[in-house]
A and B are shown apart, each in its own frame.
Chain A
């Protein structure tokens, strides 16, 4: 028996509007049950890609398959398999929360018999029971955002696409949404775009960074750190003879480089110094360094491995793509 197709398969996707290329040759795959974070600066093409995935916008070229179905030729079947929370979460102002969910549920072909209990369930999940009879136009931003999320998960679609789901939420509400998305892991495939990078790191299995319409990096946060920074670094506070220190470090890993970190070295020869050690090796070297330094008679006060945040990865990946674009751009003719 052949394996089921991936939840989302995007191949060489291009979208141009009136001469502007919003999405430029993007390819990626999302496995079933995976939660993927979609990152990129404003105008990178995230929302356009998401709209193409939902079947709302047609692509200029390339192919998009959702649960094995081509979005371009079978949009109706694709739309039955997605829950979509668009950017800015537009909602009808004049409807009550429960009425809106009932209307959307009927459009999404949930049977009348199942719809009532399902609405109660999503209201409970999204903590909306208190406002179920309130008019949407009178709700706060946080509640409105949760109504949008409730609507996206209402019909229990296999794929959920959320464009900035936590925008405008307070930390408590962000925690609720994070738990809610984590609860979908394994059951539904979720794509989330967000600018709140720690949130993405906690919630998502994998991250996809796009810039200027291209995928500039993709993988788990750990893979991205390795790919973007290509090295591990440790911060060490140590006292002892410099020559012995250098020999001990070379014995652990000949590629280990030490450089002063922070303030300049203290005047006293046996004072503690703060060093940054960098190496191309990605395995854990902390214990080996401590043991080697102790054997060489150096005193270690503190050692810690530095983890670049997803924010650092994001900034480095986007900067790298801008540098590549600038390098590829034709130089203006020199003026003589």
Chain B
């Protein structure tokens, strides 16, 4: 991993000069800003039972399904299309270092964009003078969920980018994979047909992969090791498959 810092700083720089990054950041901050304004209006109108931080993270999946593909679709697909992956891999770097650097850069940007939305709560607290708007428990839990789940989401984006040399195909693949994981798990969670006969073992798998359930647990302050393990193992698996995909395609170059 000797070359990882050089590759990571290069990847961060390339992300910062890419127009797709600014499109993703603008869409994300604009959308989350609107969500926050709606929450303020809701809480200004009538008292609510739940903390505003809990409501804020409920719609996390929508920006994730748009932002993650925009941040990751270029990373390996474009390098392969342009042929720069060949020149990169003829230097003493390994495929693992390249994939990890691309993942690290995309994740750093993803995490920093989400972290910047903490400013919404700080601004609200500053001008309302009400400490309750900065409810540390759900806020910390929500951001921790975003940080942990983001590892898997970004790794899936990198995997999608390693499978094709077309940025747009990588973006669509990544969006579909994220929507299937997040919304598919939620749709299946309450399905009665999973209770029947042979399909019953699938029930526990679906429960473990229920991202909305994880979000609710984190927001309540429940840090379950099984959730952490799910995201950590999923991330590792997606990155291993990305490395294998790059190396397999190299054989057919």
Contacts and interface: CB of A to CB of B under 8 A. Distances in A.
A57 B253 contact: yes
Contacts of A79: 90-92
Interface stretch (A48-56, A121-129, A188-196): A48-56
B99 to A, nearest CB: 15
Nearest to B88: A107
Given A17-B252, A57-B251, A86-B86, A108 B14 contact: no
Contacts of B93: 107
Interface string B91-112: 1111000000000000000000
26 contacts: A18-B252, A51-B86, A55-B90, A56-B86, A56-B89, A56-B90, A56-B250, A57-B253, A76-B94, A79-B92, A86-B86, A86-B90, A90-B82, A90-B83, A90-B84, A92-B84, A93-B82, A94-B18, A95-B14, A106-B3, A106-B6, A107-B7, A107-B88, A107-B92, A109-B2, A151-B87
Contacts of B88: 107
Contact of A86 (B3, B14, B87, B92): B87
A86 B83 contact: yes
B253 A51 contact: yes
A88 interface: yes
B92 A108 contact: yes
Interface residues of B, number: 24
Contacts of B89: 56
A95 B93 CA distance: 20
A104 interface: yes
A81 to B, nearest CB: 10
Interface of B: 2-3, 6-7, 10, 14, 17-18, 82-84, 86-94, 250-253
A111 to B, nearest CB: 13
Contacts of B18: 94
Given A56-B250, A90-B87, A107-B91, 12 more contacts: A18-B252, A56-B90, A56-B253, A57-B253, A76-B92, A79-B90, A92-B14, A92-B84, A107-B3, A107-B92, A109-B92, A151-B87
With a 10 A CB-CB cut-off, give which of B82, B87, B94, B250 has the most chain A CB atoms: B87
Query: Which 5 pairs, one residue from A and one from B, show the smallest C-beta to C-beta distance?
Result: A90-B83, A107-B91, A79-B92, A54-B90, A106-B6
Contacts of A55: 90
Contacts of A57: 250-251, 253
Contacts of A91: 84, 87
A103 B90 contact: no
A185 interface: no
Interface string A138-163: 00000000000001000000000000
B40 to A, nearest CB: 39
With a 10 A CB-CB cut-off, give which of B2, B3, B92 has the most chain A CB atoms: B92
Nearest to A100: B10
Contacts of A41: none
A224 interface: no
A84 B90 contact: yes
A18 B138 CA distance: 55
A240 B123 CA distance: 109
A336 B75 CA distance: 62
A58 interface: yes
Contacts of B10: 103
Nearest to A82: B90
A80 interface: yes
Contacts of B14: 92, 94-95
Contacts of A103: 6, 10
A82 B18 CA distance: 31
Contacts of B94: 76
B6 A90 contact: no
A57 B83 CA distance: 14
Contacts of B2: 109
Contacts of B86: 51, 56, 86, 90
A292 to B, nearest CB: 59
B206 to A, nearest CB: 39
Contacts of A90: 82-84, 86-87
Contacts of B252: 17-18
Interface in A95-120: 95, 103-104, 106-109
B87 A84 contact: yes
A109 B204 CA distance: 49
B90 to A, nearest CB: 5
Contacts of B17: 94
Nearest to A81: B92
Interface in A46-87: 51, 54-58, 76, 79-80, 82, 84, 86
Contacts of A92: 14, 82, 84
